[in-house]
Amino acid sequence: MARFRVFYIERQPKDSGGQIDLRAAAARPGNYFKETDWEEQVEAANATAALDTFFRDHANQADGVMIVEEDGRGHPVEGLDYDPDRTYIWIEEGKMMEYQGMAEATAGTVSCPLCDGTGEVDDEIAQEFTDIWHTNEFAEGGS
């Protein structure tokens, strides 16, 4: 089985206490939402199956996932034939989520902790970086 890196974004209102006003968000998205990038690894036979597995874990029900068309209109996904090159949105734990794409992971590598996951490195190198990063040398206020 192949391993895929699935990229997605979590969007929350910056005030974190109110409802999402989509009209206000569309007018000024950078001011209205705070965004958090996420990445998850999924094992599957192919990219379509990886996306299906990902959505089963994240969207609870297939009807909770909407596909966004090129003109910006969204509609519920029909069937389970996900296209890894399309844009999907869903609500997870009250947060608006958007699928950003995926890449096949290379065997023996992990997401790079230095570049925030935009590349891959050997697992040993990533662990070495993580071990050093969490020492007092790099801790806030450390010397």
Number of folded domains in the chain?
A: 2
One domain for residues 121 and 67: no
Q: Do residues 67 and 86 lie in contact, with contact meaning Cβ atoms separated by under 8 Å?
A: yes
Place of tokens 């990063």: 133
Give mean pLDDT in consecutive 10-residue pieces for the chain, a chain of 143 residues.
89 64 54 80 91 86 76 78 88 87 75 60 67 61 47
pLDDT for position 143: 44
One domain for residues 101 and 135: no
* Full domain range(s) for residue 95: 2-105
Is the Cα torsion angle 8, 86, 12, 34 positive or negative in sign?
positive
One domain for residues 71 and 120: no
One domain for residues 30 and 93: yes
One domain for residues 25 and 42: yes
One domain for residues 127 and 66: no
pLDDT for position 59: 79
